[in-house]
Amino acid sequence: MVSRLVLVAVSAIAGFCTSSTALTLTTEEYPPFNMTDAQTGRPAGIAVDKVVEMLHRANEPFTITSYPWSRAYEMALKLDETCVFSTSRTPEREAMFTWIGPLARSDWAIFARASDVRRPKTLEEVRPFMIGSYLGAATGEYLNLHGYKVDLSNNEAQNIPKLVNHRIDYWATGELLGRYMIGKAGLTGQIVPLFKFELSELYVACNRGMTAQRAEKFNRILREMDRDGTNAMIERKYQ
C-alpha cells in the first residue's frame, strides 16, 4: 500500500518541444498540488495545472518530472534551467532560489492517532514528543530549527505506518496532503488533525541562474491568471 503512494521518476509531460533549451521542472507527490493522474500517469494537480498554463502563455518549452523530493530539490539547486515545485518559501531558503509565485497556500498541521487520549493544541505542548516528517520537507526543517524532536523518513508516506504503529507520537505535514493520504490509506477517522501551526505559501523555486527578467515574466503571467479567473477555476477543479 505504501509503495503506491510514492512516485519515483515518472515519464515527463512536455511543452511545445523537447529542445535543449526547455525548462526542466521537477516535482514530487504532494496532492492535491502535485500528484500523478491515475488514468494518464502524468503529473496533475493545482500547482501543476497552474505551472503548465503559465508556461504555455509564456510560449516556453518545458518538461515536468516527479522524483523523490530530496532529488527534485537538489536538481533545482545545482542545475541551470531547472526549477522545483511546490516549494515552501522560507527565510532559510530565500537566497537559494529565484522565486515564482505563490501558486497556492498550504496550512501545516499536526496529526495524531484518533485513539491517543492526549489532545495538544499548540506546538509547545508537543515539544516533549517525537514528530514525524521527511527528508527535505519544510515542516521538518522548521521543527528542527525550533528545537523539536523530529524523526525524518525517506518520504512522507512512511509516516502513516510509523504513526499507526506508535513509532512516532505525531505527524507534521500539510493539512490537505495529510487528509488526502489518510483517505488513500483507508485510515479516515483513525488518524486525525489536531491543530494548524503555520501557513506556508507554495512557489516554483528556480536555480539562481534564472534571470530576473525571465522570473518577472512568469510572475506577471501568474498575476494575470489571478485576474482573469484561471487560477480560481483550477482550484475549483480539485476541490
Instruction: Encode pLDDT of 71-87 as tens digits.
Output: 999 999 999 999 999 99
Segment 182-211 shows an average pLDDT of 96
Q: Is the pLDDT of residue 2 over 60?
A: no
User: According to the model, what pLDDT value does residue 38 have?
Assistant: 86
- Which set of grid coordinates corresponds to residue 133? 516528517
Pair type for strands 43-44 and 130-134: unpaired
What does the pLDDT read at residue 236? 94
pTM: 0.82
The pLDDT value recorded for residue 89 is: 95
Domains of the chain (ranges plus CATH)? Answer: 2-105+202-237 (3.40.190.10), 106-199 (3.40.190.10)
Question: What's the one-letter identity of residue 223?
Answer: R
User: What confidence category does residue 1 fall into, taking pLDDT thresholds of 50, 70 and 90?
Assistant: very low
The type of residue at 191 is I
Read off φ and ψ for residue 86, nearest 5 degrees: -90, 125
Distances (CA, A) of 79 to 23, 39, 111, 124, 185: 11, 31, 35, 39, 35
- pLDDT(194) > 80: yes
What is the average pLDDT value for the chain, to the nearest integer?
91
pLDDT digits (tens, 9 = 90+) for 108-155: 999 999 999 999 999 999 999 999 999 999 999 999 999 999 999 999
Question: Out of 8-17, 72-81, 175-184, 214-223, which region has the weakest mean confidence (pLDDT)?
Answer: 8-17
DSSP secondary structure letter of residue 44 = E
In the predicted model, what is the mean pLDDT of residues 208-229? 97
Cα dihedral sign for 169, 162, 198, 210?
Answer: positive
| Residues in Cβ contact with 80 at an 8 Å cutoff, skipping those fewer than 6 apart | 207, 209
DSSP assignment, residue 20? T
